[in-house]
Amino acid sequence: MVECNPVDIPADPNNPVKAEMSPKTEQERRNMQKTPVREAIGSLMYLMAMTRGDIAYAVNQVAAFVSDPGQGHWNAIKTILAYLSGTAHHGICFGGKGISDKSILVGFTDADFAADIVKRKSTTGMVFLFFGGAVSWGSKRQRSTALSTAGSDFYAALEDSRDAIWFKALLDELGIDVGTITMYCDNASARSIIKDPENHRRIKHIAIHYFFVRDQQELGTIII
């Protein structure tokens, strides 16, 4: 992949990885044994965890099929490598214009609704910026099955609010008061569920433990 043609994004939105790409015959399975899928995914996961949050979603998707990869999965891995080839100069920058004391720590949360076509699970995506630079990010499948886009974004906000509280405690120990942490969610219904305690009809199917995020909003730890 050293001399590959770079691509602009780490995954092909028109050809998502799926279980149907796994080998269908023993011959296909034997052919894939010669391909360093595990090594490639391991290297990508290390890179993603250290500095390249922009490949988190793509790596999450291919890693789900590491036990039985097919040629389609390998092609998706090579797409990530081709993306990295063209963005090797990218990095994380801190500071810059528009960074004030009130925006020291900012979180962004999102989810794709039921994108896993087999188990119908949604995937959470999150990133936290500290002085304008990404310090924490992630992409993982949700444990509960969301029944709506609002539900999937609500679940994502829960996971990310836990990270926000951990960051706040860590920074407090270092003598840095970040105040109320702003978290951005692009789903109006999910924001309404978190902010409005009277939203009973729309939330009766949501498990009790997910209301942790609403509690944190009321306590002033975060603001969605």
Show me where the domains of the chain are located: 19-86, 101-223
Would the pLDDT of 202 be above 70? no
Q: Which residue has the higher pLDDT, 92 or 213?
A: 92
**Distance from the Cα of residue 212 to its chain's centroid:** 20
Mean pLDDT of 17-37: 89
Residue 19: band (very low, low, confident or very high) from pLDDT cuts 50, 70, 90: confident
Mean pLDDT of 6-31: 89
pLDDT per residue as tens digits for the range 76-93: 999 999 999 999 888 888
Would the pLDDT of 134 be above 80? yes
pLDDT at position 160, please? Answer: 80
Exposure class string for 161-178: b at 16+ Cβ within 10 A, else e: bebbbebbeebeeeeeeb
At 143, is the secondary structure helix, strand, or coil?
coil
Instruction: Return the closest-CA partner of residue 160 out of 120, 132, 187.
Output: 187
Residue 34: band (very low, low, confident or very high) from pLDDT cuts 50, 70, 90: confident
Residues recorded for the chain: 224
How many CB atoms within 10 Å of residue 78? 14
Mean pLDDT of 28-45: 93
Q: Per mean pLDDT, which range of 36-45, 59-68, 184-193 is the poorest?
A: 184-193
Percentage of the chain with pLDDT > 90?
Answer: 23
Distance CA 56, CA 51 (A): 10
Residue range 101-223, CATH number: 3.30.420.10
Mean pLDDT of 61-71: 91
